[in-house]
Amino acid sequence: MALWTQTIGYPILTVTEAADGAKLHVRQNRYLSAGEATEEEDQTLWWVPLGIVTSETKSQNSSGVLTTREADFDVSVSAAKWYKLNKDTVGIYRVKYPASAVANLADAISAGQLDINDRIGIIADSASLASSGHSNTSDFLTLLRAYDKETEFVVWQEIVLRIDALQSVWASAPEEVKANLQTLSRKLFSPLVARLGWESTSKSEDSLVSRLRALAIRGAGMSGDKTVVDEANRRFSAFFGGDKSVFTTDTLRTAFAVAVRNGGRDEFEKVKSYYLDAENPVDQKLAALSCLGFTTDPALVDELLEFALSDKVRNQDVHQAIVAISTYGAHRERLWKWYRDSYNQLVTRYRASMNYMGILVRLSIGEFIGDAKADEIAAYFSDKNTSKFQRVIDQSLEKIRSNTAWYEKDKDDVTEWFVQNTL
C-alpha cells in the first residue's frame, strides 16, 4: 500500500497477446500525461491487481497481480470475444490494449456487454493515452463511435470532456478534418436529443436525465445539427418573447450557448440583457454571462472583453465572461492580446487576490497549440512578478507543449481514420 500512498503517480499497463491466444503479457511503466517516462523517472514497480475479465468470465475477474516489471498471465484470449483489465475500473492505472482488442471492446460496448464503470474507464483510458502519446487517437475514435447507444449521464459526461479536448487541440486542423469531427459529434449526440426531446415527460424524471438532455442538446447544437439549432432558436425567441416555460434551468444555459454560437448580434444582445436584468436569479445570470463568449463574431468578442472589465461585471465574475472565448480557435489570439493589454489593470484590481490572475491566465493561454506560442508566452511573463500564480503559468505552458506534441504525432492518424471510416 505504501507504493500507492507515498509514491507520486501511477502506472500504465501495456498489454500484448501471445501468438497462441492463451496468454496476455502485461508490462508496467510509470504513466506521465506529458509522454513517456525516462529511465530515471521509471524506477517504481507497483503492486497491481489486474482484475482481468473476458466475455466468457464477465461475472468474475482474475485474481492475477503484477508485482514485477512484466509478466505473463493465463487468459484464453482466443476463446473470448473480448477481454478487459481493471474490472469495474477500481484500480488506479491506465491500460493500453492492442488495436485488435480495442476493436473488440468497441463491439462489446456497442452491444451493451460492459458495465457503466467499465464504459467510463475504457473511454477515459483511451483518451488519456492518446493525448499523452502512448497510443493513437484513432483508437479513441474507434471506441467513441461505439457509444452511440449510451444512456447514462456519467458516461456522457466523460465523453463530452474528451471530445471537447480533442476538438480544442484540433482547432487549427484543416477544415475538412474539423468538419469530420463535427459530423462524428452529431452522430453521437443527435440521436440522444431525438430520444430525450427538449422537455421531460414525467414530473418524477430523474435529475440526471434532465442534465443529460441539456448535455445532448449542447453537443448536437454546437456541432451544427440544423434541427437542434432551429429548435433552440425557436425556443430562444419564445423565451425572450415572454414564454419562460420553454427552458428548464438545465436547458437554459445550453440553449443560450447554441443560440449565441450560431447567431449574431441579436442573440448576443438578448443574452447580455438577461445577464444585466437584476430580477433574474444569480446562477442564471452567470450562466448567461458565460455563454456570451461562444459568439463567432470578432467585433462582439472585442465588445465582450471590454464589457468584462466594466462595472457591470463583478471582479469575481470576470472569468465567467471570458471562459467560452477560447472554445473558438480563431479568437484565442484576441483573448491573449486582451490579457496582455489589460495586465497592469488586472494586477491592480486583483492585488489582494493574485490567485485570480492564475484563473484568468489559464483561460487566456491554456488552449493554444504550438511550441513557438509557448515560448512567446514564457518570454512575456519572464520579467513580471508572477510568484502568486507561476504554477498556473507553468501548468498552462506544459499543457500547450503536450497538446502540441499530441497534435503533431496524430494529425495524420486522425485524418486517415476519417478516410477509412464512413460516418
What is the arithmetic mean of pLDDT over 139-146?
96
* 182-206 pLDDT tens trace: 999 999 999 999 999 999 888 888 9
Residue 7 pLDDT exceeds 80: no
* 18-76 pLDDT tens trace: 999 899 999 999 999 888 888 888 999 999 999 999 999 876 667 789 999 999 999 98
- Whether the Cβ atoms of residue 240 and residue 277 lie closer than 8 Å to each other: no
**DSSP alpha helices (H): ranges in 39-198?**
99-110, 116-131, 137-145, 153-169, 175-196
The grid coordinates of residue 325 equal 472565448
Residue 159 pLDDT exceeds 70: yes
* Length reported for the chain: 423
pLDDT of residue 61: 66
pLDDT of residue 35: 84
Longest CA–CA span in the chain (Å) reads 71
User: With bands split at pLDDT 50, 70 and 90, how would you rate the model's confidence at 9?
Assistant: confident
pLDDT of residue 133: 94
Residue 273 pLDDT exceeds 90: yes
What is the arithmetic mean of pLDDT over 143-147?
96
Nearest to 256, CA basis, from 243, 241, 279, 240? 240
What is the arithmetic mean of pLDDT over 233-246?
96
* 342-397 pLDDT tens trace: 999 999 999 999 999 999 999 999 999 999 999 999 999 999 999 999 999 999 99
Q: What is the mean pLDDT of the chain?
A: 94
User: Following DSSP, what letter does each residue of 259-317 receive, concatenated?
Assistant: HHHH--HHHHHHHHHHHH-TTS-HHHHHHHHHHGGG---HHHHHHHHHHHTSTTS-GGG
pLDDT of residue 4: 63
pLDDT of residue 5: 66
pTM above 0.85, yes or no: yes
Residue 1 pLDDT exceeds 70: no
What is the arithmetic mean of pLDDT over 6-13?
85
